[in-house]
Amino acid sequence: MTRKFDNHGQYVSRRALFLPLALGFCVLLALGAGCHDTRIPLRTFIEMNQQAAATTQPAETVRSWAPGPYQVGAGDVLAVTISGLAQLGVSETASVRIGQQGAILLPTVGQIPVAGQTLEQIAAKISSAYSPQYITECTVRVDVESYHPTSVLVLGEVASPGLVELRRDQRSVLQAVLRTGGPTELASDQVVLIPAADPENRQCFDIASIDGLVQAAQPDRLDDLDILWVGRRNSDFVYVQGLVGSPGVVPMMRGTGLSVLQALASVGGTNDIACPTEATLYRKSDDGRTARVKIDIKRMIDGKDPDLALLPGDLLLVPHTSATRTREFIASNLVIRGGIDATFSPFTHYYFLRDRRSRGNGVLDTFGRALIGGVGESLIPAAAAP
């Protein structure tokens, strides 16, 4: 049988006290039940990024890009001097262009293939073509009169975007970007190469990393009318919202790292009352889609999950869950706030009436009336005069 306490025509029962609280719990559980979590687990997200990085920048043999003897190619113009040709009745000097087939045309001997050879190798080949078949002895000198340029279009966040002309031995992504004055302050670390011959076969170079810089410096990367795109980097901030001390933006200096736990510490940590244990990371990819990643804060603090590195523009949300809402409900309804005004709690009222019945009137009544105040004055009558 439910025990009742008479109070001038009013009564309070255990059932009446617990009914609102139980109803609140049921509502919270109903809100949390049946919600399918579509977020990506953290470890799955890390594996996806590793696979994407391996696909975007496949491993390749690193070649030296140190300058060596220039190797001529189609379109270059050579100045050739051959001593001894006067006896054949032809000029000893000639200006010849290397054709698309990689050969030059000289009097008497005809075509000589020279593409991909150094000037010394070409001079030796010309000398052997004339001597001793046509002249007894000859001396040959070969110079590059003009280089055939490779024209590349560099666009985006560079100092002077436009058409860049490169020598055959300077056709690297890094050389092309530097010819435009280099990236601006707003430029991202990614340089995208779009080949004119195969636009779908794009390549991405991360010039902020050592490995990416080495790859961008490799020669013979570019051909005529290739496009290099230097995009604009994301915001220099990470956004932290939800159940944290001071929600807002966390500055992220370029070239530095910021992890999930560091970002949470920067905003004063998580809410002490709700005590959340999980968060959601929102990260926008290059294709415009947004990944939602489940972060277990407790496991990360305990070292069971890796402390994920954040990127500029990331949003870290510490949302409400059924557990956090339950903790807030209990804290807001079962805790008496001290001071002149007090928040009425059914639990406080219940136990106060019980103590009053068992102990009688006196100091406890006076203290209780001051503690509960307002609502309490209307529920607890003044003590009867002795």
pLDDT score, position 50: 76
pLDDT score, position 177: 96
Instruction: Compute the C-alpha angle 46/48/53, nearest 5°.
Output: 95
pLDDT score, position 2: 47
Cα 184 to Cα 159: distance, rounded to the nearest angstrom: 6
Walk me through the domains of the chain, giving residue ranges and CATH numbers: 33-46+236-321 (3.10.560.10), 77-146 (3.30.1950.10), 149-232 (3.10.560.10)
Cα 375 to Cα 369: distance, rounded to the nearest angstrom: 9
pLDDT score, position 379: 42
pLDDT score, position 85: 83
User: Does residue 167 contact residue 138 with C-beta atoms inside 8 Å?
Assistant: no
pLDDT score, position 220: 85
pLDDT score, position 293: 93
Task: Report residues of the chain scoring pLDDT below 50.
Answer: 1-12, 15-16, 34, 340, 363-364, 366-368, 370-386
Cα 139 to Cα 85: distance, rounded to the nearest angstrom: 10
pLDDT score, position 358: 56
Nearest to 155 by CA among 142, 166, 164: 164
Crossing angle (nearest 10°) for helices 346-359 and 14-32: 160
Taking the alpha carbons at both ends of the chain, their separation in whole angstroms is 33
Residues in a beta bridge with 140: 82
- The strand order across the sheet containing 40-41 reads 40-41, 290-296, 278-284, 315-318, 237-242, 248-251
Eight-state DSSP code of residue 321: -
Eight-state DSSP code of residue 143: E
Cα 217 to Cα 173: distance, rounded to the nearest angstrom: 6
